[in-house]
């Protein structure tokens, strides 16, 4: 594409604000939505990891309490 | 609150959360690839079309954004309302997340329709806005999308929110009907613009192809976004279930 043709494409016969305003908004919406989607998935996975840690911690505490109870009976 | 969604090992025809999650994951890359490829091809074709071939000069290029966004806003509203009604009133065997997966994308398409429509109307007809049926109906769809999302986010418990949200979207179905009818009738703001598939043949072949490609790109993008959001919603809805754990990284 020649520089003149590129300049004509950018200028859009004076309609640049309206045409590129539409294209840029469409691209911005797609980018923003993609960012929101990635963040939402990351947050969901982090919450599940945290829940797994808490459940593992709770299971560990329950096992430790049971072990203490057996030691108490044995003593 | 435990949810008694079907057991993961239920009948193969039952859409369990795990099956929905994995099925959405299989379709997602194809939708995304289609969106990127057809979008690139449509944009290239649309931008290279000469001004002589354009019905209203350079400003008509806005159609490559406005027409797909408008079509998708209507399609997504109908789909969101249908899914919301199914989830809210019929209690299907899946968590009530499908309508919530579509709603944000539909709202964005409605907004883009109104934005690009205003940018198209101003240079050609001297007005950003006109109080006519088509614009009012589109604005009402946007308002209802936003209200639906706010309602579902605010109400505690998936069941109550699903029912209330379904009834809210049902209120907007007459507006959708008005919008569809107004698209095919004479409108004082719009000139002789091909607004339906039946009117596409009046366009030059290259423009027609560009419009179809950008339409496909928008549709595939909305599909990819909805599938990705659905997967996240399913993970959020099922924190206590065993199946999400299989998708976490090993400790």
Chain B partners within 8 Å of A15 (Cβ): 57-59, 123
Backbone phi, psi, residue B56, to 5°: -130, 30
Higher per-residue pLDDT: A28 or B17: A28
User: Buried b / exposed e across B164-177, counting CB within 10 Å, b at 16+?
Assistant: bbbebbbebeebbe
Q: DSSP letter string over B23-37?
A: HHHHHHHHHHHHHHH
CA dist., res. B238 & res. B114, Å (int): 37
Give strand pairing partners of B58: B56
pLDDT of residue B145 exceeding 90, the answer is yes
CA dist., res. B56 & res. B162, Å (int): 45
Q: At what angle do helices B63-85 and B98-125 cross, to 10 degrees?
A: 150
Range 40-69 of A in CB contact (< 8 A) with B: 40-41, 44-45, 47-49, 51-52, 56
Chain B partners within 8 Å of A12 (Cβ): 58-59, 61
- Give chain B's contact residues with A (Cβ, < 8 Å): 47, 51, 57-59, 61-62, 64-66, 69, 104-105, 108, 111-112, 115-116, 119-120, 122-123, 221, 225, 228-229, 231-232, 235-236, 239-240, 244-245, 247-249, 251
Counting Cα atoms < 13 Å in the Cβ hemisphere of B62 gives 30
Cα dihedral sign, B80-B84-B86-B92: positive
**pLDDT digit string (tens) for B59-115?**
888 989 999 999 999 999 999 999 999 988 887 877 888 999 999 999 999 999 999
pLDDT at A38: 96
> 0.90 cut: is pTM over it?
no
pLDDT at B72: 95
């Amino acid at each position: 594409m020649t520089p003149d043709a590129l300049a004509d494409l950018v200028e859009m016969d004076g309609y640049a604000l309206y045409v590129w305003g539409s294209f840029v908004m469409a691209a911005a919406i797609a980018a923003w939505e993609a960012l929101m989607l990635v963040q939402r998935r990351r947050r969901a996975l982090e919450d599940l990891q945290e829940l797994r840690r808490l459940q593992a911690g709770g299971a560990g505490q329950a096992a430790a309490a049971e072990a203490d109870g057996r030691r108490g009976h044995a003593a | 609150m435990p949810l008694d969604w079907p057991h993961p090992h239920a009948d193969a025809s039952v859409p369990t959360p795990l099956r929905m999650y994995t099925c959405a994951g299989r379709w997602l890359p194809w939708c995304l690839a289609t969106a990127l490829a057809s979008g690139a091809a449509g944009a290239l074709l649309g931008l290279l079309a000469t001004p002589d071939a354009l019905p209203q000069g350079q400003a008509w290029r806005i159609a490559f954004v406005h027409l797909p966004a408008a079509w998708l806003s209507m399609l997504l509203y109908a789909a969101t309302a249908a899914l919301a009604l199914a989830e809210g009133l019929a209690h299907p065997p899946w968590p009530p997340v499908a309508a919530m997966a579509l709603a944000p994308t539909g709202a964005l398409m409605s907004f883009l329709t109104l934005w690009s429509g205003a940018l198209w109307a101003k240079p050609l007809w001297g007005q950003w806005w006109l109080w006519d049926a088509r614009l009012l109906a589109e604005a009402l769809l946007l308002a209802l999308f936003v209200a639906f999302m706010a309602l579902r986010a605010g109400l505690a418990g998936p069941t109550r929110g699903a029912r209330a949200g379904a009834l809210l979207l049902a209120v907007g179905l007459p507006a959708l009907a008005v919008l569809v009818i107004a698209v095919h009738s004479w409108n004082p703001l719009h000139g002789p613009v091909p607004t339906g598939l039946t009117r596409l043949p009046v366009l030059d072949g290259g423009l027609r192809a560009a419009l179809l490609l950008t339409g496909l790109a928008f549709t595939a993008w909305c599909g990819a976004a909805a599938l990705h959001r659905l997967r996240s919603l399913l993970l959020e809805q099922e924190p206590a279930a065993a199946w999400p754990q299989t998708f976490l990284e090993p400790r």
